[in-house]
A = this chain, B = another copy of it.
Amino acid sequence: MKAEIIAVGTELLLGQIVNTNAQFLSEQLAALGIPVYFHSVVGDNAERLQQQLTLSTARSSLIFITGGLGPTKDDLTKETLSSFTNLPLVVDRQAMENIEHYFAQRQRRMTENNRRQALVLEGATIFPNETGLAPGMAIETKSCTYLLFPGPPSELIPMFERYAIPYLQGKRADSSVVHSKVMRFCGIGESELETRLQDLIEQQTSPTIAPLAKEDEVTLRLTSRARSIADAEAEMREVIDEVRKRVGEYLYGWDQDTLEQVIISEFKQRAYTLATAESCTGGRIGALLTSVHGASDVFLGSMICYSNQVKRELLQIPQQMLEQYGAVSEQVAARLAENVSQMFGATFGLSVTGVAGPSMLEDQPVGLVYIGISHAGQSTVQTLRLAGDRESIQRRAAKYALYALWNHFRTGQ
């Protein structure tokens, strides 16, 4: 079974909207174990849609088409597929009743083109539309099966979940499941991770292992096809152990975990609290931590000490230290972490001071960042040299500060 997804709509080709439907369907089909080989987008143009149908029908057995089921002139998916498959359009009584009911209820006049939404290809399996007017459908021909869905995600998503999934499961020849697990790493680059795991990645048996670089982190997706989820998990266990042995020190979480969630949850378990002093990150660490519901049990607050005056007057960094070492220095990072933890009465203090750019600061190069961690009267400082523009440096510095904190916390136990 080879699948592909076609989205129909000129608004996609103009960049007015993003094709989130393709992502939703791909994710769902991956979970159903149906491999997707292509996505395509064509405009509201019968000739080009016909070309696309010819191409797709030749290479795929399952074709998902989104959009172009609406009432207006430029909605021509059904008409084009009808002439392509030689299946006539007929009225679906149930859909027509829904449309009539909709207009009657709102006391609005139903225009002729609204009736077009009730047309379906003869012999189609209908997917009712519970959040809109145009029904979806599945059309089975000798060469392949076409599944049509309305374009608005608010109609497509519930229709897919309620009607298309059972339909697709019914078509499946075997009863195997496809199960995925994501391992999340921080502090190691994609190519380094891949080099260390090369033999495992190249095996390409079940489970398969696929690395992916996300913003400032790397993930590893393990996918198993097995008779049950339990079988799939059992199959993964050995590989996971091997991955842990090689790069376990960078593994901070699983599946949808974020570094900030992991930190908040581990601190909470130990009744630890945290205060931060952010200079060049300007509040990004606070924003990450407070994105977690329940952060208030752990994160007491932060001093954004963007100016030296604030470092001096509110965080008690001695003027002499600022002059001798500069605001971007190991010494100031350590003292900021110590003082902010005292000021807020927190178990841990975390500080960041650095040069976000675009220009140098106190003769220090762009991308130089110090991260200070203070705990139980002891402080440590890490030095980073980050690349990128101002925005990337600030974002990465915040992320690495959380990574450093997590790492310190984990290895310091």
Taking beta carbons and an 8 Å cutoff, which residues of A are in contact with B?
A: 7, 10-20, 22-30, 36-43, 48, 51-52, 55, 59, 70-73, 102, 105-106, 108-109, 111, 113-114, 130-132, 152, 154, 158, 189-192, 194-195, 202, 210-213, 215, 221, 276, 278, 280-287, 289-291, 293, 295-296, 299-307, 309-310, 314, 343-345, 356-359, 367, 385, 387-392, 394
Contacts and interface: CB of A to CB of B under 8 A. Distances in A.
Nearest to A29: B15
A55 B52 CA distance: 11
Number of copies: 2
The dominant DSSP class at the A interface is mixed
B291 A286 contact: no
Given A284-B287, A392-B131, A72 B306 contact: no
Contacts of A10: 210
What 9 pairs across the A-B complex have the smallest Cβ distances?
Answer: A283-B286, A282-B290, A15-B27, A283-B283, A15-B26, A39-B41, A302-B304, A301-B310, A283-B287
Nearest to A310: B301
A356 to B, nearest CB: 8
A39 B24 contact: no
B28 A105 contact: no
A132 B189 CA distance: 13
A192 B283 contact: no
B391 A291 contact: yes
A333 to B, nearest CB: 16
A41 B38 contact: yes
B41 A22 contact: yes
A80 to B, nearest CB: 15
B394 A291 contact: yes
Nearest to A45: B37
A72 to B, nearest CB: 5
A286 B301 contact: no
A59 to B, nearest CB: 8
Given A190-B72, A307-B301, A27 B40 contact: no
Contacts of A282: 283, 286-287, 289-291, 295, 299
Given A23-B18, A301-B307, A192 B111 contact: yes
Contacts of A154: 215, 388, 392
29 contacts: A11-B212, A12-B22, A12-B23, A13-B36, A14-B27, A14-B30, A15-B22, A15-B25, A16-B27, A19-B39, A37-B43, A72-B211, A105-B385, A113-B194, A113-B195, A131-B392, A152-B213, A280-B290, A281-B290, A282-B289, A282-B299, A283-B285, A287-B287, A290-B394, A296-B306, A300-B309, A300-B310, A302-B304, A303-B304
